[in-house]
Structure 1
Amino acid sequence: MISSARVECLQGNIVLQEDIGIVVNAANAELRPGGGVAGALHRAAGPELDKACRPLAPIAPGQAVITDAFELPNQYVIHCLGPVYGVDSPADELLAACYYNALRLAQWEEVDSIAFPSISTGAFRYPTTEAARIALSTVIQHLPEFPRIERVRFVLFDTATSELYQRTLASFNEA
């Protein structure tokens, strides 16, 4: 089965995705504010996000949980704990599980659009090239299972990562 969903990669700020129903947080196990994506989302959502996360923690690598988005312009935030590269294994399967489990939650909530960051490539040191391949292949492979999802956006913070994801996506479209 082929999905008609649109997959896009762009440089931007994940907290500013006003046309997307769900944004994904590259969370820590305790679902607490921190640096990077988690810090940005928690700051933009306000203190209610931290309060909503506390009873859901801790989560394990590959797991995803969902909360309201509070002051963000989205309906929900899905919090995924990616693997720490070289520590959590099998890292590729755990990273793929983040994307799959987030798609599953989006489908469950009947939301038609979701935005992902590059999970695990910051403080968790996952090689970005490999992370992009896993993220995009997982999403493309599994989108047909989630017919409610019409758009998947990868929001990448810097130019180099955005271009890498765009090239990786193009290679899947050519195959």
Structure 2
Amino acid sequence: PQHAGISLLRVLLGFAVGAGAGLALGAAMGLSRRVDDHVRPLFTAIAQVPALAWIPLAMLLLGIGETLKIVVIAKAAFVPVAMNTSAGIANVPRALVEVGETFRFSPLQMLRHVVLPGAVPPIFTGLRYGLTHAWIALVSVELLASSEGLGYLLVWGRQMFWLDTVLVAMIVIGIIGFASDKLLAAVEARLQRWRTDGV
């Protein structure tokens, strides 16, 4: 339980940072063609480098403490969240936008009542992918640079030939990841009740 709690806290912190930054950048890219034109080339280049490939450089700059783990997890979550948020906002159906224009919504009202509700499905797809990538990054960075956590248990169990420890750690990672994904799916379903309520 102690190792699972440590890993879960790392994922929550890293995912919060990465997803928050991804939502902000993705929204800016989706809402502004100018921002998208200036940012997308650099963003695409960064996105092509897997989070795990950043670990050696991050170790040189940040050491092997908690900051390293949070940064690697955040980067893993950041890319899919930003990509899906940008695509979701940019591809909101024109019919919905026209409804907002008919009611003469202000830009803020258009964002709140039309753009964001219309972009909920791709945004949450990005969040769910981001959470999955965050768990993968967590286990990988704990395998390489940690003395606690579920990834560390996998390494320790392998070194000591404790197959039961390795299997239990894998099962716990799977259960927590599955539960986290289901939680996001439930939140998404709640936010999309207007789709069924309006039928």
User: Above 0.5 in TM-score?
Assistant: no
Structure with max Cα Rg: 2
TM-score normalised according to structure 1 size: 0.31
More strand by share: 1
Q: Which has the higher contact order (CA 8 A, sep 6+)?
A: 1
What TM-score does the superposition give when structure 2 sets the normalisation length?
0.28
